């Protein structure tokens, strides 16, 4: 190895470093390049080790040239490092620039579930015509849920396959002075409880959770009902029809209609099924999976049965009254613009559905 060859190697290494520096665009790559060329085991260090084969005079000349190359390379690295630092600072300033006059980004906020909103709206509508909201237990004695409502022991609704009865630890139904304990299948358990308070006249609305063994397009095992009860002297079907017409037009819209169909309920006489013109198909019934006929049943209604009045301690020869019970979810489905064709959508915890409201 000659001094001339060694000098050429240092010059070539310097050019290689300068070319490599031009390709570097970020700090990590620059550090890797520094280690490759200037590190303890880098290319400059390896090349300087080869000077041991030169004579003493040659080593002096080559060593001086090597130090000059090393100093020039280190200066080039520092210059590149400063340039990258300034570039990064400029980019950060551009990215982190804030317009303090721009409106802030508000955090996402939740809202009431559509069913909760419907409960408030329904309560307010009846409050406007003098109905007071009351609450009855949603876990109650079957006396209030069935027997006091003129329903005999062999009534199908009192069967274990229709209603949820509360069991004790030994799997036997929990019982007490007023029979078995039941998850209320309707809000009608509030009727006799309200009469027992002895405050007349009665104009109450009870909204609560109810439970039944059903699940399909128009039924869910846990749902809400609102129960209306009005008792006074001289109450007739005309009062019932007037209240139902008022609610239908206020809640569903002036173009919507309701109809009363004769039916049989144990706790009202006469009794009616209450239907509303379907809001999903516009009352046409054409290919509607909800109503299939243009009308959808909302619930039952009728004049309070004399036996129920007696169970509440009232004289049916003096007092008359009407009652109705509708499902909140089904009523909400029929509201104008909802177009919900499956009641189970309300409880599937799908934010895409809930966020529409």
- Judge if 326 and 191 occupy the same domain: yes
- Judge if 266 and 128 occupy the same domain: yes
- Judge if 91 and 123 occupy the same domain: no
Count of the separate structural domains present in the chain: 2
CATH number at residue 205: 3.30.930.10
- Judge if 126 and 21 occupy the same domain: no
Is 291 inside a domain boundary? yes
For residue 332 the two structure tokens come to 């909400």
Give pLDDT, residue 174. Answer: 60
Query: How far apart are alpha carbons 254 and 240 in whole angstroms?
Result: 18
- Judge if 217 and 335 occupy the same domain: yes
Is 72 inside a domain boundary? yes
The DSSP H or E segment spanning 151 is none
Q: Which of 95, 125, 158 is the last residue of a domain?
A: 95
Give pLDDT, residue 199. Answer: 93
For residue 36 the two structure tokens come to 């490759």
Is 71 inside a domain boundary? yes
Is 204 inside a domain boundary? yes
Give pLDDT, residue 5. Answer: 66
Give pLDDT, residue 131. Answer: 96
Backbone angles phi, psi at 120, to 5 degrees: -65, -45
First CA to last CA distance, the chain: 85
Is 173 inside a domain boundary? no
Is 160 inside a domain boundary? no
Q: In the structure, how many helices (H) and strands (E) does the chain have?
A: 11, 10
Closest-CA residue to 136 (of 123, 145, 127): 145
Give pLDDT, residue 3. Answer: 56
- Judge if 206 and 302 occupy the same domain: yes
- Coil vs helix vs strand at 311: helix
- Judge if 220 and 71 occupy the same domain: no
pTM to 2 decimal places: 0.66
Is 19 inside a domain boundary? yes
- Across 11-34, b (16+ Cβ under 10 Å) vs e yields eebbeebeebbeebeeeeebeebb
Closest-CA residue to 282 (of 222, 320, 338, 357): 338
Let me know the angle formed at the C-alpha of 286 by 283 and 290, rounded to the nearest 5 degrees: 70
For residue 228 the two structure tokens come to 């209306």
Domain hosting 78: range is 3-95
- Judge if 195 and 73 occupy the same domain: no
- Judge if 196 and 337 occupy the same domain: yes
- Across 186-224, b (16+ Cβ under 10 Å) vs e yields bbbbbbbbbbeeeeeebbbbbbbebbbeeeeebebeebb
Q: Rounded to an integer, what is the distance from CA 120 to the centroid of its chain?
A: 18
- Judge if 70 and 197 occupy the same domain: no
Bond prior to 201 in cis (omega within 30° of 0)? yes
Q: Are 354 and 340 in contact (CB under 8 A)?
A: no
Give pLDDT, residue 168. Answer: 67
Is 106 inside a domain boundary? no
* Helix orientation angle between 3-23 and 56-95, rounded to the nearest 10 degrees: 0
Backbone angles phi, psi at 156, to 5 degrees: -55, -30
Give pLDDT, residue 4. Answer: 66
Q: Which residues contact 102 (CB under 8 A, 6 or more apart)?
A: none
Give pLDDT, residue 257. Answer: 83
Could you tell me the mean pLDDT of each successive run of 10 residues in the chain, 357 residues long? 64 73 72 71 68 69 72 76 75 72 82 91 95 94 92 79 75 69 92 95 95 82 93 96 91 86 92 86 78 84 96 96 92 80 83 82
Bond prior to 193 in cis (omega within 30° of 0)? no
- Judge if 72 and 201 occupy the same domain: no
- Judge if 279 and 338 occupy the same domain: yes
Q: Is 109 exposed, middle or buried (0-12, 13-18, 19+ CB in 10 A)?
A: exposed
Give pLDDT, residue 2. Answer: 59
Give pLDDT, residue 100. Answer: 79
- For the chain, strand residue ranges (E) read 132-134, 139-141, 175-176, 179-183, 202-211, 222-232, 258-265, 268-277, 295-304, 320-327
Closest-CA residue to 194 (of 148, 240, 129, 163): 148
Give pLDDT, residue 169. Answer: 61
């Amino acid at each position: 190895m000659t001094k001339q060859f060694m000098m050429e190697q240092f010059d070539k290494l310097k050019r290689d470093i300068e070319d490599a520096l031009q390709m570097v665009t970020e700090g990590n790559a620059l550090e890797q390049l520094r280690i490759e060329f200037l590190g303890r085991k880098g290319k400059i260090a390896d090349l300087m080790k080869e000077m041991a084969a030169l004579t003493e005079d040659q080593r002096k000349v080559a060593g001086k040239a090597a130090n000059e190359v090393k100093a020039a390379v280190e200066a080039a690295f520092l210059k590149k490092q400063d340039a990258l630092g300034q570039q990064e600072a400029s980019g950060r300033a551009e990215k982190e620039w804030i317009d303090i006059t721009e409106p802030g980004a508000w955090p996402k906020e939740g809202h009431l579930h559509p069913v909760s909103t419907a409960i408030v709206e329904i309560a307010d509508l009846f409050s406007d015509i003098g109905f007071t909201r009351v609450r009855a237990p949603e876990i109650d004695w079957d006396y209030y849920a069935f027997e006091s409502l003129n329903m005999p022991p062999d009534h199908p609704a009192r069967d274990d396959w229709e209603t949820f009865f509360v069991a004790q630890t030994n799997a036997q139904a929990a019982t007490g002075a007023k029979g078995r304990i039941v998850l209320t299948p309707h809000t009608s358990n509030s009727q006799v409880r309200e009469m027992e308070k002895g405050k007349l006249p009665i104009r109450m609305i009870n909204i609560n959770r109810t439970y039944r063994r059903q699940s399909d397009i128009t039924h869910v095992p846990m749902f809400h009902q609102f129960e209306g009860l009005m008792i006074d002297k001289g109450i007739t079907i005309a009062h019932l029809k007037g209240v139902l017409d008022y609610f239908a037009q206020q809640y569903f819209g002036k173009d919507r209609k309701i109809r009363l169909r004769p039916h049989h309920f144990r706790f009202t006489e006469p009794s009616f099924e209450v239907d509303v013109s379907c809001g999903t198909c516009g009352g046409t019934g054409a290919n509607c999976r909800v109503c299939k006929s243009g009308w959808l049943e909302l619930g039952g209604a009728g004049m309070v049965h004399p036996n129920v009045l007696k169970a509440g301690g009232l004289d049916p020869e003096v007092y008359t009254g009407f009652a109705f019970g509708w499902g909140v979810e089904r009523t909400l489905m029929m509201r104008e613009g909802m177009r919900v064709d499956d009641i189970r959508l309300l409880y599937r915890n799908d934010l895409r559905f809930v966020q529409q409201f």
